[in-house]
């Protein structure tokens, strides 16, 4: 079995879907994981926010806009006189959720997951249907049933042992050997829908590869492969041909938009190679990530925006005590806030964390625990892995830098934007 993953940008229009058909035509023993089309997840997040505000009309209007977008793709693929009934039904289900839910803020994550999961359910319904009509016979797999996740919404981890049994059951006895399943979603023990974190479809594909013992996983993207920097930010970015799992995890964790950070572990466990391949050219080599590549000493530069810098000052001057640290990390963990950089002195603790809905709640809790907290939102984090002297001098003395950390392999800092 091979696993192919197609992200939202690859299937954002009819042309993309036709290109997907071209890539998978003739393949057998293939599991295809697809994300929501284009920016659908963002659109569904807007549906959820409207529901959160109690604005049913705005929520329904966003659903209609999303329907129109998908309708255009279907029309272009199949002709305006044909429809995919299942897609119409899915949109109706979504409208009914908005109309019938009595929203409580304590269930925010549950309703978020229930709504945004439709992006992938709809995209795979369209793609499975289209492939079936164009010579690629396949079975649509409902990943809400195939993936058992933890009972945690919006950023769930997948239980590999249980999923192996479930997924194999879902594909057993099939008369076809091509499967189409949703990235990003799963099901909790209580039967509700979960999501695996934004951009989590890569992780989904890696789980499928792991539990089915796939020979390889390929992510088809709108880039030539993995670059050593984001060309929009750092000009003269170059493609990296081969990379090891460890450097990939570090890059992803530092904010490189190449692959979801959770993707590597399930692949590494079974030593499955990961190919990052250009969607527009199925014969190009792309980049390959495996366990046995020598470290890449080419500098890798990553910038992560969406950071919030918090400065915690302990009012009783007692940061020296370990339990204070434990308290802070537990508070962040309970609000699911992800920490990227930590820097401490005797009485102060600086942390750069991913921006999240819950930061202000966490701050209130910390203030009640005896901390003064300052928050700055106009910051970004930069990581230069395998920096050299020239890069060090070019970047490390920037006046905008607030925190800087240097290890033999990496230079990392948080700076004002
Ligand atoms: N559709 C989801 C998102 O946009 C998952 C993914 O694309 O991987 O975050
Ligand atoms: Mg995506």
- 279's CB contacts (< 8 A; 6+ apart) are 6, 9, 10, 16, 19, 23, 220, 221, 222
Among 6, 198, 203, 252, the mutation site with the greatest number of ligand 1 atoms within 8 A of its Cβ is 198
Query: Backbone dihedral region of 389: left (phi > 0), alpha (psi from -120 to 50 degrees) or beta?
Result: alpha
CB 275 within 8 A of CB 260: no
Amino acid 404: pLDDT: 96
CB 240 within 8 A of CB 227: yes
Per-state percent for the chain, helix, strand, coil, to nearest 5: 40, 25, 35
Distance of CA 195 from the midpoint of ligand 1 (Å): 9
Among 16, 118, 200, 202, the mutation site with the greatest number of ligand 1 atoms within 8 A of its Cβ is 200
Ligand closest to 183 (CA) is 1
Amino acid 234: pLDDT: 78
User: From CA 175, how far away is CA 18, in angstroms rounded?
Assistant: 24
User: From CA 147, how far away is CA 185, in angstroms rounded?
Assistant: 8
Distance of CA 34 from the midpoint of ligand 1 (Å): 9
Phi, psi (degrees; rounded to nearest 5) at 372: -95, 135
Give the pocket of ligand 1 (CB within 6 Å).
7-8, 35-36, 41, 119, 183-184, 198-201
Q: What's the pLDDT tens digit per position in 107-146?
A: 999 999 999 999 999 999 999 999 999 999 999 999 999 9
From 102, 117, 88, select the one nearest 192 (Cα to Cα).
Answer: 117
- The tokens for 175 are 């008369």
Amino acid 380: pLDDT: 95
User: From CA 153, how far away is CA 111, in angstroms rounded?
Assistant: 9
Amino acid 346: pLDDT: 81
Amino acid 321: pLDDT: 67
CB 304 within 8 A of CB 381: yes
CA end-to-end distance (rounded Å), the chain: 45
Amino acid 320: pLDDT: 59
Amino acid 212: pLDDT: 98
Q: Where do the structural domains in the chain lie, given as residue ranges?
A: 2-214, 300-416
Amino acid 133: pLDDT: 95
Query: Backbone dihedral region of 22: left (phi > 0), alpha (psi from -120 to 50 degrees) or beta?
Result: alpha
Q: Is domain 2-214 in CATH 2.10.10.90, yes or no?
A: no
Q: How many other C-beta atoms can be found within 10 angstroms of the C-beta atom of residue 414?
A: 24
Ligand closest to 5 (CA) is 1
Task: Could you please state the CATH topology (level 3) that the domain comprising 300-416 is classified under.
Answer: VC0802-like (3.30.2130)
- Low-confidence residues of the chain: pLDDT under 70: 319-321
User: From CA 268, how far away is CA 246, in angstroms rounded?
Assistant: 9
Distance of CA 4 from the midpoint of ligand 2 (Å): 14
Helices (H), 53-142: 56-78, 85-100, 108-116, 118-133
Amino acid 319: pLDDT: 63
pTM above 0.85, yes or no: yes
Buried b (16+ CB within 10 A) or exposed e, 339-375: ebbeeeeeebbbbbbbebeebeebbebbeeeebebee
Distance of CA 260 from the midpoint of ligand 1 (Å): 10
From 160, 140, 134, 138, select the one nearest 149 (Cα to Cα).
Answer: 160
CB 51 within 8 A of CB 101: yes
């Amino acid at each position: 079995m091979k696993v192919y993953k197609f992200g939202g940008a690859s299937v954002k229009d009819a042309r993309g879907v036709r290109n997907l058909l071209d890539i998978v035509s003739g393949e057998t023993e293939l599991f295809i994981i697809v994300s929501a089309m284009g920016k659908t997840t963002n659109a569904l997040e807007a549906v959820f926010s409207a529901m959160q505000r109690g604005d049913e009309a705005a929520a329904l209007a966003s659903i209609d806009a999303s329907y129109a977008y998908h309708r255009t793709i279907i029309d272009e693929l199949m002709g305006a006189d044909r429809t995919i009934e299942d897609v119409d039904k899915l949109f109706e289900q979504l409208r009914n959720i908005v109309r019938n839910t009595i929203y409580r803020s304590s269930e925010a994550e549950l309703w978020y997951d229930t709504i945004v999961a439709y992006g992938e359910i709809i995209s795979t319904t369209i793609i499975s249907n289209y492939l079936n009509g164009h010579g690629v016979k396949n079975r649509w797999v409902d990943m809400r049933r195939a993936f058992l996740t933890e009972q945690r919404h919006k950023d769930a981890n997948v239980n590999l042992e249980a999923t192996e049994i479930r997924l194999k059951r879902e594909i057993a006895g099939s008369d076809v050997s091509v499967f189409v399943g949703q990235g990003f979603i799963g099901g909790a023990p209580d039967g509700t829908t979960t999501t695996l974190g934004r951009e989590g479809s890569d992780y989904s594909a890696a789980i499928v590869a792991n539990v089915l013992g796939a020979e390889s996983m390929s992510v088809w993207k709108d880039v030539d492969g993995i670059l050593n920097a984001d060309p929009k930010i750092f000009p003269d970015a170059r493609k990296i041909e081969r990379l090891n799992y460890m450097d990939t995890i570090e890059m992803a964790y530092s904010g490189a938009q190449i692959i979801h950070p959770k993707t590597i572990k399930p692949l590494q466990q079974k030593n499955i190679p990961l190919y990052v391949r250009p969607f527009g050219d199925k014969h190009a080599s792309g980049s390959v990530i495996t366990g046995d590549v020598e470290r890449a000493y080419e500098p890798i530069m990553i910038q992560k925006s969406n950071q919030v810098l918090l400065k915690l000052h302990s009012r009783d001057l007692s940061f020296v005590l370990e339990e204070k640290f434990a308290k802070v990390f537990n508070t962040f963990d309970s609000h699911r806030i992800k920490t990227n950089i930590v820097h401490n002195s005797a009485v102060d603790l600086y942390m750069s964390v991913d921006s999240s809905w819950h930061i202000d709640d966490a701050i209130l809790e910390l203030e009640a625990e005896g901390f003064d907290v300052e928050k700055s939102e106009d910051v970004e984090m930069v990581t230069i892995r395998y920096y050299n002297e020239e890069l060090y001098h070019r970047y490390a003395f920037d006046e905008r830098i607030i925190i800087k950390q240097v290890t033999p392999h990496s230079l990392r800092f948080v700076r004002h934007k």
